[in-house]
Amino acid sequence: MDTLCLVVPKKKAEPVRRRLLEKGVLRKDVQIRSDAKNVYLPVTQRIDLGFPVEIADFREVEEQVTDYRVLVDLPEELRPHLPSSYDSLGSIALVKMAEEVAPYANQIGKAIIATQKSIKTVCVDSGVTDEFRTRRIKVVAGEKTTETTHKEFGIVFKMDVSKVFFSPRLSTERESVARQVLPGEVVIDMFAGIGPFSIMIAKSKSPKIVYAIDKNPDAVSFMKENISLNKVAVIEPILGDAREEISKLEKADRIIMNLPHDASEYVADALRMLKPGGVIHYYEIMEEPKVQPRLDQIADTARREGRVLNELARRRVKSYSPTMNFYGFDLQFF
Ligand SMILES: C[S@@+](CC[C@H](N)C(=O)[O-])C[C@H]1O[C@@H](n2cnc3c(N)ncnc32)[C@H](O)[C@@H]1O
């Protein structure tokens, strides 16, 4: 496409480009060109900035489709049922699919792959089940694999999304917990999964040791791989039941309890292994009216164990369902 342009020597091009942008005369519908000496800045009108003005041929900017829904061909009345978001775990997209659009799963998957470069596989995620909190997963488009490597805050997490639990939506939470860790702390991650809390802490802080317990052999196996991929030395992975394993460890300054449906059953066990003034990061999925009664119950458990609860912080980390949220609590016990 022929358009007016300023011919600017390469070294001077960037400030001129910014000036044209500020003046609102830089064309954004065509691609800026350059050769060995000059940059050709396409403009909407003749402008005198002391550089030659020419007419030259430019390539049009291709409009990038970013919303996969534009590419899905289905009856209009079903369009509102298309998933409005999905989780990206490395090269895998996990999509929760309403029944109404389930027959279009392959088309939806292909559209996601076409609009998000990093995604090579799309899986339908039918929810987390069983004590290992693994997802029911079905590959519906792209490469037939459930293994991926996810990056977060410069840390890599290898996993099989059908065999272990991992949520990218907890990355800020992990970072917030890691930020609180002091040098030399003993940390216990009671339900550690593939190790995201433990590795984040070991990588960004200087704990004495992080004991990372999980009952799922696949989770512990990926955790070991992730410990070595991220070159962290202070984590001791432990395969087993947290209730049993925690009692064999030294007392901790900090205990992480991310088992959001059942953590309340393990509070007394955790308290027995927590140093005076230590902190428990406690997570639970519940309705808002249940939050205070749960904290009162934890305070009662603490009293029975001869401890006193000091609530440092509570936060709604993410929503879980129309009525339930995932809450995080930083609880100190004297
Ligand atoms: C919600 S996941 C959290 C994993 C990890 N902390 C994370 O943030 O990704 C809970 C983990 O606890 C493990 N788990 C469940 N019950 C357990 C128990 N009694 N003892 C040890 N691990 C358990 C599951 O296998 C699962 O990996």
Task: Tell me: pLDDT of 127 over 90.
Answer: no
User: Distance, CA 75 to ligand 1 centroid (Å)?
Assistant: 41
Please tell me the number of Cα atoms within 13 Å of 249 on its side-chain side.
Answer: 32
Task: Tell me: pLDDT of 63 over 90.
Answer: no
pLDDT for position 274: 98
Q: Specify the residue for token string 């272990």.
A: 164
Three-state SS for 266?
helix
Three-state SS for 276?
strand
Q: How far apart are CA 276 and CA 288, in angstroms?
A: 30
The vertex-223 CA angle with 325 and 276, nearest 5°, equals 65
Residue of 258, 219, 264, 254 whose CA lies nearest to 238: 219
Task: Tell me: pLDDT of 96 over 80.
Answer: yes
Q: How far apart are CA 200 and CA 166, in angstroms?
A: 14
Mean pLDDT of 291-316: 96
pLDDT for position 122: 97
Is the CB of 131 inside a 6 Å radius of any atom of ligand 1?
yes
pLDDT for position 304: 96
| Tens digits of residue pLDDT in 4-60 | 999 999 999 999 999 999 999 999 889 999 999 999 999 999 999 999 999 999 998
CATH of 165-333, one of 3.40.50.300, 3.40.50.1820, 3.40.50.150, 3.30.430.20: 3.40.50.150
CATH of domain 2-57: 3.30.70.2580
Is the CB of 165 inside a 6 Å radius of any atom of ligand 1?
yes
| Alpha-carbon distance values, 306 to 42, 113, 149, 275 (Å) | 74, 55, 44, 12
| Alpha-carbon distance values, 151 to 72, 168, 198, 326 (Å) | 29, 9, 15, 23
0.85 surpassed by pTM: no
pLDDT for position 243: 96
HEC per residue, 37-76: CEEEEEECCCCCCCCCEEEEECCECCCCCCCHHHHCCCCH
Instruction: Parse the chain into domains and list their residue ranges.
Output: 2-57, 68-145, 165-333
Residue 190 · residue 218 · CB < 8 Å: no
Mean pLDDT of 117-129: 93
User: Distance, CA 109 to ligand 1 centroid (Å)?
Assistant: 29
Q: How far apart are CA 221 and CA 7, in angstroms?
A: 59
Is the CB of 210 inside a 6 Å radius of any atom of ligand 1?
no
| Tens digits of residue pLDDT in 216-257 | 999 999 999 999 999 999 999 999 999 999 999 999 999 999
| Tens digits of residue pLDDT in 139-180 | 999 999 999 999 998 999 999 999 999 999 999 999 999 999
Pocket test for ligand 1, best of 215, 223, 282 (most atoms within 8 A of CB): 215
- Assign domain 68-145 to its CATH architecture: 2-Layer Sandwich (3.30)
Q: Report the percent of the chain where pLDDT is more than 70.
A: 100
Do 2-57 and 165-333 have matching folds? no
Pocket test for ligand 1, best of 165, 224, 255 (most atoms within 8 A of CB): 165
Task: Tell me: pLDDT of 265 over 80.
Answer: yes
Q: How far apart are CA 32 and CA 5, in angstroms?
A: 9
Is the CB of 214 inside a 6 Å radius of any atom of ligand 1?
yes
Pocket test for ligand 1, best of 152, 190, 191 (most atoms within 8 A of CB): 191
